[in-house]
Chains A and B, each alone.
Chain A
Amino acid sequence: MQGIVSGDNRFSRLVYVWRVRWKVRARNLAEFWRDLRGRPLALLGGVVVVLYILGAISAPYISPHSPTQGNLRYRLRPPAWQEGAEPGYYLGTDDQGRDLLTRIIFGARVSLLVGLLSVGISVAIGTALGALAGYYRGWLDQLLSRFADLLLAFPFLIFAIGMMTFLGPGFTNLIVALTFKGWVEFFRLVRGEMLAEKTKEYVEAAKVVGQRDWAIIASEVLPNIIQSVFVLGTLRMGFMIIMEASLSFLGLGIQPPTPAWGSMVSVGRDYMLTAWWVSTLPGIAILIMVLAINLFGEGLRDILDPRLRVE
């Protein structure tokens, strides 16, 4: 402590802190790759997620058919390996004669976008508010924490369903509804971490060298807790995707003709007895994506932040 306070050392001390932290981070990256290679399941999850993302981005180029335009003549044709299949429609067609494979590929766009955006915005809001609340405490913390408690009193899906009734269906509204409650988790995580970090030496040091509050929060404390946020974000993504699918399943999410997996499963329910593929296959697409994200997220957690436990 003495050394920090003494004026001459102030600058060199700060340089030292930064240098150490960067080194730590670089070592972490190398370690991270090694750890990831040691976890085949997490690696596999990561690869599958990347494949999904690539597929979603290149959907218009790799899809054999139009996602919205069908041909009623080819209605409810089974997948290629079953009798009666229509050549060129590898996973069969839905009730409008649309290619199921194409719709599943395009459906990945909706799911991924909803997952990324809702988690991304939740992280941004939750982190910002959590940092402020944790750093300043006082009435702001009281207000935000009570509001968070209130939101926590609602089960997630029920709240989202209520919000969607209020807002009406559609992509933007879906993001709003999921984010409105989604930020709370990140808020609580960051606030808690902030409370713990605030008492640590380096924050004191930064204060002493006269850094502004926002600079301390942004450049000193946040980098130390961003890993936890990242891990939690990954784990929440699968959850958000399932929430989106559930809302679309109930008809409250994405509206036709945009393909969304949840609504595809829902529509397929009517054809369950004669055309199993219509609802089964989009369901498998959800399952695999969420599974991959969860595997990757769990791996990430074990590597980066073993303190975080299952939700």
Chain B
Amino acid sequence: MRAVKILERVLITIPIMFGVAVVVFFFMRLTPGDPVDIMMGQAGAVSTGEIEQLRREFDLDKPLYMQLWLFLTKAVQGDLGYSYTQKRPVNELIFDRLPATIELAGGALFFSLVIAIPIGIISAVRQKSLVDQFSMAGAFLGTSMPSFWLGIILILLFAVRLGWLPVQGRITYGINLEYVTGFYVLDSLLGRNWPALVSSVKHLVLPSVSLGASVAAIVARVLRSSMVEILRQDYVTLARAKGNREFLVVMKHALRNALIPTVTVVGLQVGSLLGGNMIVESVFSWPGLGRLVVKAIFERDFPLVQGAVMIYAFTFVIANLIVDVLYTYLNPKITL
């Protein structure tokens, strides 16, 4: 039964993704600026013959509905076209950058969970204590802080003033690292290359913190409030009465149930991680997808923007799908 429900949920995402592709396509095509003019930006004088040729190459000579149809059929086959400015297939450009972006998002998520889960639990257990008050104040700050500003402040403090952490990039140059997956932390772990691991983790810290701060804040607050509620429930009192140790009660009975709303919130925050990475990558010169897209937007590199925004939207849709599925496992009472 559950499998059927999950399948249904998966199927629902298909029209949404289709809609996403269509919306993105029209936005890009209706944006002012002739793509051919933009492609020619570098070249100076060109013949009309060449312009016609370019139009043909990029299907721009066909009516809009044909362009849409070609775009969709190609996209389904995994062909997202050519970048106007970089002159390489969009696919290639995106997949070159994707590992860096996923590593950053993963780092941010890891950071936020490592911070938020203990804080959420402790704050809930020791309600109104100093720890609670401080953490919740911190959480408030975290949600109110623009990530780009936090990034700048962190660079100023930890990289420029104190010199503890690097300013930019993913790894110190000169460290030999065999690139297998493109995730530097993973690659250095696989190769048991400890200097590379230290370097890549160090590079990951500041961007992850800037990106993850608001997520950490939100997760900590959600976890705390659901813990507080659950700790008041009868079955928790019962578990205490049975003489279970408090630690066990909290971890086993309360945390599991409190994780349900938390997981939902984390799923929703994937969106802010994806959007935020465009900003944070710009601040830290992180060679990921976000920076590529921001640049492409300014250069009106439509195929690239189109492809990348679709990837972002799909990732988001899929993340929410995973959360929904996870949800049914955490709380079997809930049906999709």
Contacts and interface: CB of A to CB of B under 8 A. Distances in A.
Asked if the two chains touch in their complex, CB atoms less than 8 Å apart, one says yes
For this complex, into which size category does the number of interface residues on chain A fall?
35 or more
Interface stretch (A6-14, A85-93, A147-155, A202-210): A147-155
Q: Which interface residue of B19, B155, B218 has the most chain A CB atoms within 10 A?
A: B19
Q: Which interface residue of A157, A166, A246 has the most chain B CB atoms within 10 A?
A: A157
A95 B316 CA distance: 40
Interface stretch (A100-108, A118-126, A278-286): A278-286
Interface stretch (A52-60, A216-224, A290-298): A290-298
A265 B312 contact: no
Nearest to B151: A269
B149 A309 contact: no
Contact of B279 (A150, A246, A268, A291): A246
Nearest to B22: A150
B16 A153 contact: yes
A250 interface: yes
A246 B317 CA distance: 23
A287 interface: yes
B238 interface: no
B160 interface: yes
A295 to B, nearest CB: 7
B222 interface: yes
Nearest to A293: B144
Interface residues of B, number: 53
B221 A310 contact: yes
B152 A310 contact: no
B160 A273 contact: yes
Given A158-B309, A250-B294, A287 B149 contact: yes
A158 B278 contact: yes
Q: Which interface residue of A156, A163, A249, A266 has the most chain B CB atoms within 10 A?
A: A249
Contact of B297 (A161, A249, A266, A294): A161
Contacts of A168: 32
B309 A265 contact: no
A150 B31 contact: no
A150 B271 contact: no
B148 A249 contact: yes
A283 B268 CA distance: 26
B257 interface: no
Interface string B120-154: 00000000000000000000110111111100110
Interface in A252-311: 252, 262, 265-266, 268-269, 272-273, 276, 279-280, 283, 286-287, 290-291, 294-295, 309-311
A29 to B, nearest CB: 27
B160 A272 contact: yes
B13 to A, nearest CB: 9
B275 A155 contact: yes
A286 B146 contact: yes
B27 A162 contact: yes
A165 B305 contact: yes
B32 to A, nearest CB: 7
A43 interface: no
A152 to B, nearest CB: 8
A283 B225 contact: no
Nearest to B160: A273
Q: Which interface residue of A252, A280, A294, A310 has the most chain B CB atoms within 10 A?
A: A310
Nearest to A251: B298
Given A158-B274, A168-B32, A294 B144 contact: yes
Interface of A is mostly: helix
Q: Which interface residue of A146, A165, A242 has the most chain B CB atoms within 10 A?
A: A165
Nearest to B290: A158
B201 interface: no
Contacts of B160: 272-273
A289 to B, nearest CB: 8
B152 A155 contact: no
Interface in A142-183: 146, 149-150, 153-158, 161-163, 165-166, 168
A265 B271 contact: no
B155 A155 contact: no
Contact of A153 (B19, B221, B268, B294): B19
B156 interface: yes
A238 interface: yes
A290 B144 contact: yes
A166 B27 contact: yes
Interface string B244-258: 000000000000000
Contact of B268 (A149, A162, A311): A311
A153 B275 contact: no
A150 B148 contact: no
B300 interface: yes
B336 to A, nearest CB: 15
Nearest to A266: B148
Contacts of B145: 287, 290
B166 interface: no
A286 B143 CA distance: 12
A78 to B, nearest CB: 15
Given A265-B148, A309-B222, A309-B225, A294 B143 contact: yes
Interface in B192-238: 218, 221-222, 225
Given A273-B160, A286-B146, A156 B271 contact: yes
A310 B142 CA distance: 14
Q: Top 8 A-B pairs ranked by shortest CB distance?
A: A157-B275, A283-B149, A155-B271, A290-B144, A291-B144, A155-B275, A150-B19, A155-B274
14 contacts: A150-B19, A154-B309, A156-B275, A158-B274, A158-B313, A162-B27, A162-B309, A165-B300, A168-B32, A249-B279, A269-B283, A287-B149, A290-B144, A294-B140
Given A150-B20, A155-B274, A287-B145, 13 more contacts: A146-B15, A155-B272, A155-B312, A161-B297, A165-B305, A250-B278, A265-B152, A266-B148, A283-B152, A287-B144, A290-B145, A295-B140, A309-B222
